[in-house]
């Protein structure tokens, strides 16, 4: 008989500049939508956990806001949350976008990973994401070589979070670096987020996907009511949420002509929520203006920032 394999567990932080696909990777590895994903940079606003359960162990993935040199209370909250997401980790994944040139924000993300105390720094994997956009798999090699010169990475691996390419190999390499230990979370729990926060994230994602220009970044979502009702046709979850924006003009866009936009946001969000929650949902949305909430530290803390609130 072979000896029992030791169970391994640990925390893995995912770090990179905005829009590299960190949240897409967390969702792909966990196999559930934990974090909002949009083509807009700075989608993720707080560090979130995604829990990856395998027979050999448990990895707690820490999705973080993109490293961005912004100003103001919201940008400061994002950076604080990013730093907090780096604490006590066993491994870090440094995500780079394969189809974008190396830039200042990549450098900033790498600086955060280097940290102060080199001896205490955990291993870092260089993960070249969006490899599906390269002309051929071989095209990743010279890129990886060039990036390897920037830091003593423990591994360098091309992946596609969107197309789920090379994720098995990445998972295997991550487990190799995890210490022996008990699971941190009960099996089957996909995230640490309270359900309200996660519902707000899904609605925010849909509102960001359907709007443009300055509107997506000015949005926050607050779940204000969540009850379950029994009907003849089965159970119904009734969720009320406010979409918060900063200006009356943004509200007009969000409501749309004859309520067309808010209806679309509602339909798409409800579809997502029903798929994830496995129950019929009635979603009641309304739009409120809270002038310059991103400039107000209390508003930033009180809106969709569950840790700070």
Ligand X SMILES: Nc1nc2c(ncn2[C@@H]2O[C@H](COP(=O)(O)OP(=O)(O)OP(=O)(O)O)[C@@H](O)[C@H]2O)c(=O)[nH]1
159, 129 contact by CB (below 8 A): yes
- Could you tell which of Mg ion, ligand X, none binds residue 14, using a CB distance below 5 to 8 A set by kind? none
Q: Does 269 bind ligand X (CB under 6 A)?
A: no
The residue whose two tokens read 């691996």 is 157
Question: Cα(282)–Cα(43) distance, rounded to whole angstroms?
Answer: 25
Work out whether 269 is an interface residue with Mg ion (CB under 5 A).
no
Question: 289 pairs with which residues across the strands?
Answer: 245
- The three-state secondary structure class of 199 is helix
To Mg ion, the closest distance from the beta carbon of 92 in angstroms equals: 16
52, 30 contact by CB (below 8 A):
yes
Residues 6+ apart with CB under 8 A from 85: 13, 15, 47, 62, 63, 64, 65
For Mg ion, the closer of residues 43 and 206 by Cβ is 43
Stretch that binds ligand X, among 36-44, 178-186, 244-252, 257-265 (CB under 6 A): 36-44
> In whole angstroms, how close is the CB of 275 to ligand X at the nearest point?
18
Residue closer to ligand X, measured from CB, 4 or 39:
39
Q: Which positions from 55 through 74 interact with ligand X, judged by CB under 6 A?
A: 65-66
In the complex with Mg ion, which residue's Cβ is closer, 17 or 270? 17
Tokens found for residue 183: 């699971």
Q: Which of residues 3-22 bind Mg ion (CB under 5 A)?
A: 22
Q: Is 166 in the site for ligand X (CB under 6 A)?
A: no
Does 81 sit near ligand X (CB under 6 A)? no
SS3 content of the chain, % helix, strand, coil (to 5): 40, 25, 35
| 22 versus 89: smaller Cβ distance to Mg ion | 22
Smallest gap from residue 68 Cβ to ligand X (A):
8
Residue from 3, 4, 39, 55 binding ligand X (CB under 6 A): 39
Residue closer to ligand X (CB basis): 133 or 236: 133
The contact pattern for ligand X, residues 116-155, with x = CB under 6 A and - = no contact, is -------------xx-xx----------------------
Site residues (CB under 5 A) for Mg ion, limited to 36-95: 43-44
- Grouping H, G, I as helix, E, B as strand and the rest as coil, residue 84 is helix
Of residues 161 and 241, the one with the C-beta less far from ligand X:
161
User: Could you tell me which residues come within 8 angstroms of residue 117 by beta carbon, excluding any fewer than 6 positions away?
Assistant: none
Instruction: Please state the φ and ψ torsions of residue 34, each to the nearest 5 degrees.
Output: -100, -40
Instruction: Count Cα atoms within 13 angstroms, Cβ side, for 149.
Output: 6
Give the DSSP per-residue string, 253-303: HHH-GGGHHHHHHHHHHHHHHHHHH-SEEEEEEEEEE-TTGGG-HHHHHHS
**Of ligand X, Mg ion, none, which one sits near residue 46, judging by CB under 5 to 8 A according to partner kind?**
none
Query: Which residues of this chain interact with ligand X, rule CB under 6 A?
Result: 16, 18-24, 37-39, 41-44, 65-66, 129-130, 132-133, 160-162
Query: Which residues of this chain interact with Mg ion, rule CB under 5 A?
Result: 22-23, 43-44
């Amino acid at each position: 008989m072979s000896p029992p394999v030791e169970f391994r567990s640990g925390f893995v932080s995912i770090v990179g500049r905005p829009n590299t696909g960190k949240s897409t990777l967390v969702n792909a590895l966990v196999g559930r939508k934990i974090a909002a994903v949009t083509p807009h940079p700075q989608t993720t606003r707080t560090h979130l956990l995604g829990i990856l359960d395998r027979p050999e162990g448990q990895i707690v993935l820490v999705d973080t806001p993109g490293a961005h040199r912004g100003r103001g209370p919201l940008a400061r909250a994002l950076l604080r949350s990013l730093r907090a997401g780096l604490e006590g980790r066993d491994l870090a994944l440094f995500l780079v976008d394969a189809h974008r040139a190396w830039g200042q924000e990549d450098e900033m993300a790498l600086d955060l990973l280097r940290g102060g105390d080199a001896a205490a720094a955990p291993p870092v994997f260089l993960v070249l994401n969006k490899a599906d956009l390269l002309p051929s798999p071989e095209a990743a090699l010279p890129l990886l070589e060039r990036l390897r010169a920037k830091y003593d990475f423990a591994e360098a691996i091309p992946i596609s979070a969107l197309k789920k390419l090379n994720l098995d190999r990445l998972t295997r390499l991550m487990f190799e670096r995890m210490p022996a230990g008990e699971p941190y979370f009960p099996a089957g729990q996909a995230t640490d987020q309270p359900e309200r926060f996660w519902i707000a994230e899904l609605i925010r994602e849909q509102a960001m996907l359907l709007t443009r220009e300055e509107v997506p970044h000015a949005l926050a979502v607050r779940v204000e009511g969540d009850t379950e009702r029994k009907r003849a046709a089965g159970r119904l979850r009734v969720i009320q949420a406010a979409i918060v924006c900063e200006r009356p003009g943004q509200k007009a866009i969000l409501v749309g002509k004859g309520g067309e936009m808010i209806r679309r946001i509602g339909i798409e969000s409800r579809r997502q929520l029903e798929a994830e929650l496995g129950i019929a949902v009635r979603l009641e949305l309304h739009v409120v203006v809270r002038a310059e909430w991103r400039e107000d530290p209390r508003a930033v803390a009180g809106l969709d920032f569950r840790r700070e609130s």
